[in-house]
Each structure stands twice: as structure tokens, then as C-alpha cells.
Chains A and B, each alone.
Chain A
Amino acid sequence: MPHYSMIIDMNRCVGCGACVIACQEEWDLPIGAARCWVVPMKPEASSLALSYTHYVGQCNHCQQATCLDACPTAASYRDEQGRIRVEPQLCIGCGYCVDACPYGARMVRADQGTVVKCDFCAPRVDIGLVPACVQTCPAGARIFGDLDDGESPVSRYRLDHSCQRHETPAVSIKPQVFYVGRQPIIDRIFSENPPNPKKTGPPIQGVLLEKLLRPGFFVLLGVTALGQGMDFFWQRTKGRAASAAKKDEKPASDPMLRRRAMSAVCLHWFNALVWILASLSGFGLLRSSRYRVMPEFFHDALPAVFGSRAALLQFHIALGLCWLFALLLYGAWDPKRHLLTFLRELSLRAHDIDWLRARVRGIFVDSEQDLPPQGKYNAGQKLFGIVVTGGSLLIMASGLIMFLLPGSGVLLRWSIPVHFLAASLIFVALGVHVYMTLLVRSERPALWSMVHGRIPESYAREHNRLWWVKIGDKRMVDK
């Protein structure tokens, strides 16, 4: 595999900027966007150096690049030829990588909201051309080629020119662009334009995601898993005796009560499907080693399913849009019932707090305790509902920002941790939800109610006593 590299000879360079314009034209960049630069430096005539020179630069394709893992979606990658590139279809323009480049070699282009940077003109080079800047340079100050090929222009140039990396003790990440020039000139260029040691990692939002949210997600998963495990244990041991005792009390006839509309049942399973797919694709997109929550093999396997990672992103976006559209449709269908009643049913009351206390005590302290009577939904379900509803709103908002406003700056930068936080909270809540219905035997009727919309009266009397009392005589209507 070639190992591409460039030499910029400041003895030759006259700072004419042909490279910059050629690059902008080659890649049809909007005004203000550039993948390389020629910055005139103030002409100085001191005894040390007589210089009217320029800081010429671009992505250094560093061997120890700091930008790569700052990218949440791994849109930034190193290709097999050692070039650091950006897959625009995966880039959402969050600019985390921009903050992680000490040379300032990346920028978000305003028109498309994606990151632009030098990729050594990979598409040109791959068909046998040289990069646009190299081809056009009137001074021949840019020398490009394969370092592993002894006959390449760079290799030959290195033989009789002393090449230097633009590094400092603070930032030493092995750039693959080298500079040639008289030492005082090179010293001046380097010392007046040092790599920024503060720009070697993602911005605060990325740090938050990496250092707090991702570990937090794992901790939360752990805690709930532990809780569920203990709960399961109690249910299996002590709960068995209780249910055996109750078995005798079972009435001969246990009529079924209408618990929810079939539309709600449908929506539930639609949600379930969306969540499974969104979690898989969403966590699959979060590929960078800094932020990832899924193992490597998962990330390797997923694109195979979707064809490409860009397709995965498109799928994730399409899924989110479908979901949003379906929920909006559902809400708009019957706003009173689907929105107002729903929200009212979610609000926590005093008896809900009592129930919660008792339930948690039940798991960790005293599994024998009786639970206080509940309405249509118990506090656990309400809490789940609140988390899921709130989380969903955050997910939609942050997702829409990422989709509609790529490259929008701070808002977009915060959207990523918010999206992750909301998704991970819901993910954890869903874990509890699934556990309850699948593994807690006594909740089985609730699972079936999500199929036909009804529950046995005995179950309602026990689990939703307040609701059972409230609906009173009407409860037999659906008999």
C-alpha cells in the first residue's frame, strides 16, 4: 500500500495562493471554505531572518492523528493509503473533529454542513493524477508521492533536502506533511503558527459524552440489571408461595375488561419495532472508540447488513422521521384522547410515591410487603412513561437538529450528547419494561393486554384497584 506524503518547500514557495484557489475550484468549495491555506506572514527584516514568507498548510495526515476518534460517527477515517479522509455522507457537521485538530486543518462548510479537509486529493490520486495543488503550483513548491516508493518525487526530494515536521513538544503527532526551507524561515513559520495544544481532542460536549454519559449509561444498565435480578430472585422464591396461596381464591368466572384501544396496541408494537431498530442503528452509528457502546464486531457486522455505513445513517434518519410522523399522526387523530388523557394518566400522585417506595423496598429490603392500591397505571409504569415520553421528545428535537441543521454549531454540538442521553435513558427504561413483562410471571396478563387490549378483572382488581373501583359498573360492558 502506498504511504502518501507531501513536502512543502518554502525556499521555492512564493505564497501566490494558486494551490488554495486550485483546491477550492477542484472541490467546488463555497466562498469561505478551504482545504489548504497560504497565510502571508508579516514581512520582517531582523538580523536573524530576512523574511517575507507564508504559512502554507493543510491537513498533515498525522500518523497519531487526534481528530479521528473525536468524530462520533467515524465519518473521519484513515484510508488504506494512510490518508485521513471524511465520508461526507456520514458527517453531520458537528465539528468535534475541528476542535481536535491542532493545526486547524478542518472546517465545516456552510452550504452542506459537512467537514472539509485535505484528503491529498484522493479521488485524483487514485486515478493516477497528482493533487490539484501540486499540479498547479507555479513554483513547484509542493512535492507529493509515496514514501514507500524510493523513486517517488517525495522520496527523491528527501534525499537532498532536509525535511522537518511541524511539531512542538506539546503537540507531537507525526505529521505526514514535511517542510523544507532555510532554518530561520522554517523556525519563524513554525514558532509563529504553532499547533494548538488545546485542540487535540473533542469539545466539551464530546468530553461529556465520553467521560460522563457513556460510563453513566453502563452504570445505569448495571444498576437496573442488578435490581431486576434481585427482583426476579424474590419473585421466584418468596413470590411463589404467595401466588400458590392466591390460586385458591381465583373466582370461577374472571371476565375480561377493556383496558386499551386497539390503536394504542398497534402504536405500542410500532414503537417497539422502532426502538429495536433505532437502538441497533443508532448505537451502530456511534462508532468512534471514544464514544462507542457496542463491541467492535457489532460495528463490523452492521454495515454488512445495510450495505454501507452511509446507508445505516440514512436508515436511522428515515426511521426517526417515520416514527415522528406516526406519532404526530396518532396525536393529531384524536388529540383529546391521545394527548391530553395520555398526559393526565402519566402524572404522578401521592399514592404513586408511596407505591414507588414500597416497590423499591420490596426489591432490596422486604419482598413481603404489600403494595398500596394503584390507578390505571402504577407509579412504575408512569415513571417509565415519563422517561420514554420526555426522552422521545429530546430524541426527536436533537435528531431533527442533526438532520435539518448540519454544521449549525453549538446547538448541533449539544444535540449529540442530548440524543445519546435520552436514548440511553429510554434504553435502560425499556430494559426494565421488557423484564417486567417477559420475566415477571404475575405481569403476564399485562403482556397479553398488549395483544387484545383487555385484562382479567381479577388482575385489575389487584393491580389497578383504584381504576377498577372508578370504572365501577361500566367495567362489565365489554364482557
Chain B
Amino acid sequence: MDAEEVEEIPSICDLCFWRCGIIVKVRKGEIIRVEGHPNHPRSRGRLCARGNAGRHMVDNPDRLKVPLLRVGERGEGKWKRISWPEALDLWARKTQETIDKYGPGSIGLFSHGLSSRFMNAFMLHLGNPNRTSPSFGQCRGPRDVGFQLTFGDGPGSPERHDMARSKMIVLIGCHIGENVQTGQVAEFADAIDHGARIVVVDPRMSVAASKADQWLQIRPGTDTALLLAWIHVLLAEDLYDRAYVERHAMGLEQLRRAVASYTPDWAAQVTQLPRDRIVAEARQMARHRPAVLIHCGRFSAWYGNDTQRSRAMAILVALLGAWGRPGGYFLRSKIELGSRACPPAHGPMDRSVATGRHAFTQFGVAGQELVEASIGPQARIKQWILYADNLVQSHPDFQSTREALRSVDFVTMVDIWPTEGALWADLILPEASYLERHGDIYAVKDHPRPFVALRQPAIAPRYQAKEPYWIVQQLAHRLGHTDCFTRPDVTGYLQDRLAPLGLSYEQLARTGIHQLAEQQAFLPAAGAYKFKTPSGKIELHSSTMAANGYPAIPAFEPVEQAPIGWYRLVSGRSPYHSAARTQNIERLMSQAPTNTLWLNDQVATAKGLASGDSVFVQNQDGCREGPVSILSTPAIRTDVVYLVHGYGSRSFAMRRAYRKGVSDTALCSRFKADTPTGGTGIRVNFVQLVTSEGKEIAGISQRCHQERAAIPWAEGCIPKAGESGAEDLPAYQKEECDDFLEMDLDDSC
């Protein structure tokens, strides 16, 4: 390689939220390599598998290339090419019609990622609050809210974990390693190397669990019980950080009373973990505090009781004195940027959709509320914008999604991939990939030395793909909103954003990253500190929760347990994939071409199954996925099966991903909403293993025996009547729901 010909453009990755710094090497207009940016404070030149393969987003033969207009039925996936002016005119006309007739609140925006900020800003400017993103409702919403209620601030993104200094790390359902964020993995590996104590709570032995000092193979859905018991022990044995709590927290006495009944003996029953282990780990935490990282996880929409679980975690963090202390969480820094692309709305917000069911949901309305409000002739939402959000794979209850997609008047999709959503869209607009576009300034306040980073195009957009700023600007200006996106070019806008930092666009474009002076990462050693809670203190007892009708201190709510012969479906990540966004990249698929169904080996044996055998998986609503290969292993509980998320695309236009592996989302036909946030708890779906005809693979029905063998400390296999989990097999609807399959009407592509 002739080094002189190669241009190196600094930018930031877009394969996950960590947004590592990258150096894009370009030769003769071709991206030849994406490498880590050595100066990026959170990645230090490292990249994960996905980031390394990023250039195949650009050269992917299946990406959206030109604006398309639907010509067939919705869902059929038949389009014709149209020009950008035609597409934008049509979009503007439809939008104007909808607004004129039904008001700005009749547009639903489903969006994801940095590039969708322009569209979100424009919707707000229109006075339309009806927008949602999976990163809240299907991911970190309950977690953020739980921490916010407690500390007045969320844990940040990337999270403000001071893992490098942690002496003990507790992962609850978080599988670092399979879930790869470079800096986090680096600090986790350092922690292992330095001998930090690592405890992993997970019904499945993850890679992280296999490296842990303790793997607590918890009964699914009982994490809050474990957390409450740990709180109980810390208080009962007087092991908590008394000085810290006295100085910074309020509500200790209420907490003490509330957790009095959550004894380790009780928790042992509920969680099926050994009592002594529960107590021992609480004491370990006390020994290592405050340098104990109770990792807040990220995907937190599990069981519908998730904000309370998050609150319990936050309270545990507070009792250990780990918030704003080395080895725990550091504090948020500040960055002042210039104004956004759109001024605020001229009129009031059109809040006619929010049901008020979820007090703390992200923009006042949860994703499922938007979906519900889109169904039927009286629907409030008439038009959808899918902005880089593949709703079909990201949102559970696809039946409702599909119904809504059929019901709304007009669906516009802006994306780089022809996802399932594309098959249903009326208008498809090709966005430039992350290596061909600018994003809004990425300002990282969740770092002791905050920094700004720039996503900038390494090459001009291929085909007819366009920059997100331009796309939204064109729509806004066509609708007469010329006070938005006033800068003709995105670089001018970015310049405005950077101005308060005394930084020019050109300067940032050269370096990619600009780090600001170090700010206060930890709580002051003495004196008061005002938290952004109503009381100005850490709220062990949350008056905000109480005011909204929720328990002020988390209480354990039992969740439905898997009936005999049924298995709880849990899902996780492959390090080669970012949810459902990377399965069309051959480089990555060649390493992780499909997913397998983890099944406890004793259950498998009882059913006459072995690793590699093919089965179908059918959920309580009769939704069936398969065939999928079994991984028979002792590394998972007998009442749980596990799938990696993101596989099983139903979009035939994504030829490498189409029908590769099975979709866990297709098996999540129901969810339990986390009431405070509206987060869609999806771990409430149970599956059976069936044959291709749908006949149950029952095997020897000795589940009691199996469970006893697998979990030697379990007191009794089937809980006594009245306890959670004693229900008989629920009367599930048995209606066939192959609706998900209906989405591919044409395999011919």
C-alpha cells in the first residue's frame, strides 16, 4: 500500500452507542480500512468486530440506493424508482395534508441514532411530541429513570462507570464480552487482570460469568429480590456507608422499614440462590466499598417491574457510597454547544396521544402508545416516519405493529437498509451510511474529561443516498419552515454548534476529537452537594414515585414463572452483531452466520435432543420460529432458553440476512409494560420446543427431577401453592399467528 495515496479521515463509529473514534482510510474514493482512532478517550484505537467491518455498510450490495415509491401492496415489497425532488415533494404534500387535517400530533416518529436528531428537532418544532425510539422503551428507559429518580441523573451513555478503579464489579444480566463496547471490555479485562472481585447474576453462564469469581445462576425475574436482600443485609449488619448516606441521602429509615422483610432466607427461596452466598456477596460489597460497581446494565426492559429494579440497584449503589466516588460512578460533566437546528415550537405541543399511563416515559408517549394510536379508522396517528428504526425487529408485539402499518395513511422510511419496515413503507428514502455523512456534534459529557467528536463523511455518499441534515432540511423548507435548518450546509450548522467551545468545524474535522478540560468527576470530599432531585439529596425514598402512584421504595413483585414444559425466552447479543443492523454484512455473518437455542442439557436429554439437533420454537401465542439448532449445555437453567437477538430477518431485500437464524422478536408477541416508563418488558414470553408441524417435543416429563439436579440448592422444585410460579399451564390463545411470516410475500428476489 502506497501510504502517500491514502487519506485518513477521523470520524466516529456508528455500530453501537459507544461511538468509538475511527480513522477511515480512503484511497481513490474507496474506503480501504476503518481503524480505531488512537486519541479517542473511550476507545483508544480499539474497535470491535463490527467497527472493523464498518466499510461493508458502504459497499453492501443490498443497501438502499435511490428513493423508492411503493407500487404493490404494503408489505409486498414492490417499489419503483423516483427522483429526490419527486420524493420530497410527495412527502411534503402528504405531511402537509395530514397536518392540515389532523394536526401536527398525527405524525408518529420512530427513530434511532445520532442522524435522526434532525428529524426529532423538526418534529418538536412542528409541535409534535409523538416520537419514540427503541433505545428508550426497548432498552435503557427503565434503567435511566430508576437512577434519575434516585440521584437526579441517569447513569449516562456511555455509562459513567469508573470500572478502571473498581475493586468489585457486579453484573446483573449484563453480558460484557458478548455485548462489546471497546472501552468497557478493556476495563473489564483490566479488572480481571488486577484481581477485582467479579460477580455475575444471570440465569445463563455468559462469557463474563465464566470469568467471574461468582456466577449466581438466579431464577429469572427475581433480580429485585436479590437486590433487596443485599440492601437488607447492608442495613441489618450495619455495613453500609453511614457517613456517605447521612451526608447525601434521604429516606434511610423508610428504606430500613421497607426492606425489613426481605431477608436472605426469603431471597434464597425466591431467587433459588444459596442464602449464604447472598449474604457473603453483600459482605464482599461492604468490604470493597465504595469502589464497587453495581453495573447498571443497558438493556433493561425485562419483566415490566424494571424501573423498580433499577431503583433497587441505585439504592444499593447509594448505600455503598459508590455514586460520585472512585470505582463506582463518576459525575456528569458539562459541555455548552450552540443552538440546535430548529427553534422550539411556536405553539403548544399536540399531546393528544399520550395516555398518561406512563409518567416517566421519554417524550411523554411510549412506543406502544404510538402504535395503539395508529390502529383503526379513528386512529389519532395517521402518518409514520420510520427513521433508522426497524420497528418490526426492535419492538415486541409485531401483530400490533403490523396492524398499525396497515392502518396508517402514509409511511415514510429513511434508512440505509431495506429492512422489514421498508417492505411496508410507502416512501423509502436512502440515507447516507455513517461513513458518508455528518451527524450532529457528538458531545460526551459522561466522561471526567468531556469531549466532542465529529462524525464526518470519509467519502461522498454513494448512489443517491443523502445526508440526514439535507433530507430533513428539504422537507422542512418545502413545508415552509424556513426558520429551521437555516444553514445551507450541515457544516455551517455544525460550526454554529461548536462556536461556544471556540472550536471551528475545520479544526474538529482535522482531529475528529476535541477533549475539554477535566471537570469534577467525584463528589467533593467535604461540604454539601446538591443532587438534581426534588430534595436535593439521593432519594432512597422517592417522593416523585409516590406522587405518581408508584411505591416510593421498590417492593418485590413476583413475575409469572415458566409453566412446566415451557421455557422463558431470554435473548442477548453476539459480539459480531449490533442488534438487527449488521446481519447483511457478509464479513460478520461469516463469523456468526446464525443463532442457536441454548437449552439446559438435562432438559435436552429428557427430550431426546442433543446439540446440533434442529427444533422449532413456539410461544404461548402459537408464534413459531425455526428451524433452529440446539446448544445443549449445563450453562443455562432448566426453565430458560436463550437466543441471540437480531437474526431471522424477514426482509427478502436483505439477501444475506434473510431467514438466517431465528428472530427472538417474532417470539415476543407479548410484553409487559414497565408502568413508570412504558418500557416493554419482553422476558415474559414462554416457548415450547416443537416439531415442524407444531407438535410439542415433550420428552420425559420429569422437570422436577431435572431442576433438582441442576440446582442442588433449590429447596423445592415447584413452589407451594400461592407462591409465584405455581400456576398451571396458562390458557394461552392457541390461534395460529404466522402473521409475522406474512411479511414476506415474495421470496423471488
Contact = CB atoms under 8 A, between A and B. Distances in A.
Given A20-B591, A135-B35, A45 B635 contact: yes
Given A21-B49, A139-B186, A43 B180 contact: no
Interface stretch (A8-16, A240-248, A405-413): A8-16
Contact of B55 (A25, A52, A140): A25
A138 B192 contact: no
A139 B188 contact: yes
A21 B587 contact: yes
Contact of A52 (B35, B51, B207): B207
A44 interface: yes
Nearest to B56: A25
Contact of A25 (B33, B177, B186, B631): B33
A24 B33 CA distance: 10
A17 B576 CA distance: 7
Nearest to B1: A123
A11 B192 contact: yes
Task: Report the 5 A-B pairs with minimum CB-CB distance, sorted nearest first.
Answer: A14-B177, A16-B575, A43-B635, A12-B189, A139-B189
Contact of A136 (B32, B36, B190, B631): B36
B606 interface: no
A10 to B, nearest CB: 9
Nearest to B36: A136
Interface string A124-156: 000000000001111111000000000000000
Contacts of A24: 587
A462 interface: no
B596 to A, nearest CB: 10
Interface size class of B (residues with CB under 8 A): 35 or more
A157 to B, nearest CB: 10
Contact of B189 (A26, A45, A141): A141
B32 A28 contact: yes
Given A11-B192, A140-B189, A31 B207 contact: no
A12 B192 CA distance: 7
A45 B205 contact: yes
B111 interface: no
Interface string B666-697: 00000000000000000000000000000000
26 contacts: A11-B211, A12-B193, A14-B185, A14-B575, A15-B177, A16-B185, A18-B51, A21-B587, A22-B52, A25-B33, A42-B631, A43-B210, A43-B631, A43-B633, A44-B633, A45-B635, A50-B205, A50-B210, A53-B207, A135-B36, A136-B46, A136-B52, A138-B180, A138-B183, A138-B185, A140-B190
B189 A135 contact: no
Nearest to A141: B189
A9 B193 CA distance: 9
Contacts of A307: none
A32 interface: yes
B604 to A, nearest CB: 12
B206 interface: yes
Chain A binding surface, main DSSP class: loop
B209 A31 contact: no
Contacts of A17: 49, 575-576, 591-592
Contacts of B181: 138
A14 B591 CA distance: 15
A93 to B, nearest CB: 21
A51 B591 contact: no
B586 interface: yes
B178 interface: yes
Which of A21, A25, A53, A137 has the most C-beta atoms of chain B within 10 angstroms of its own C-beta?
A: A21
A13 B189 CA distance: 7
Interface string B188-200: 1110110000000
Contacts of B633: 42-45
Contacts of B587: 21, 24-25, 31
Interface of B: 32-36, 45-53, 55, 176-178, 180-183, 185-186, 188-190, 192-193, 205-211, 215, 575-576, 586-588, 590-592, 598, 611, 631, 633-635
Contacts of B211: 11, 14
A200 B623 CA distance: 52
B634 A22 contact: no
Contact of A44 (B188, B215, B635): B635
Contacts of B45: 135-136
Contacts of B205: 43, 45, 50, 52
Interface residues of A, number: 35
Interface of A: 9, 11-18, 20-22, 24-26, 28, 31-32, 38, 42-46, 50-53, 135-141
Given A14-B177, A16-B48, A135-B35, A52 B634 contact: no
Contacts of A138: 46-48, 180-183, 185-186, 189
Contact of B591 (A11, A12, A21, A26): A21
Given A20-B591, A25-B53, A139 B635 contact: no
Nearest to B589: A31
B47 A136 contact: yes
A168 B183 CA distance: 36
Given A25-B34, A43-B210, A16 B46 contact: no
B669 to A, nearest CB: 28
A137 B208 CA distance: 16
Nearest to B183: A138
A20 B49 CA distance: 7
B643 to A, nearest CB: 14
Nearest to B53: A21
Contacts of B188: 14, 139
B634 A16 contact: no
A423 B472 CA distance: 72
A14 B576 CA distance: 12
A14 B573 CA distance: 13
Contact of A14 (B50, B176, B592, B635): B176
Nearest to A161: B193
Nearest to B585: A21
B274 to A, nearest CB: 16
A327 to B, nearest CB: 41
Nearest to B43: A138
B177 A21 contact: no
Which of B588, B611, B633 has the most C-beta atoms of chain A within 10 angstroms of its own C-beta?
A: B633
A184 to B, nearest CB: 11
A18 B16 CA distance: 14
B186 A18 contact: no
B192 A42 contact: no
A380 B182 CA distance: 76
A249 to B, nearest CB: 77
B192 A18 contact: no
A24 B49 CA distance: 10
A44 B634 contact: yes
A277 B185 CA distance: 59
B721 to A, nearest CB: 32
Nearest to A52: B210
A42 B598 CA distance: 10
Given A17-B592, A18-B48, A45-B633, 8 more contacts: A15-B207, A18-B575, A20-B591, A43-B631, A45-B635, A50-B205, A138-B189, A140-B189
Contacts of A43: 205, 210, 598, 631, 633-635
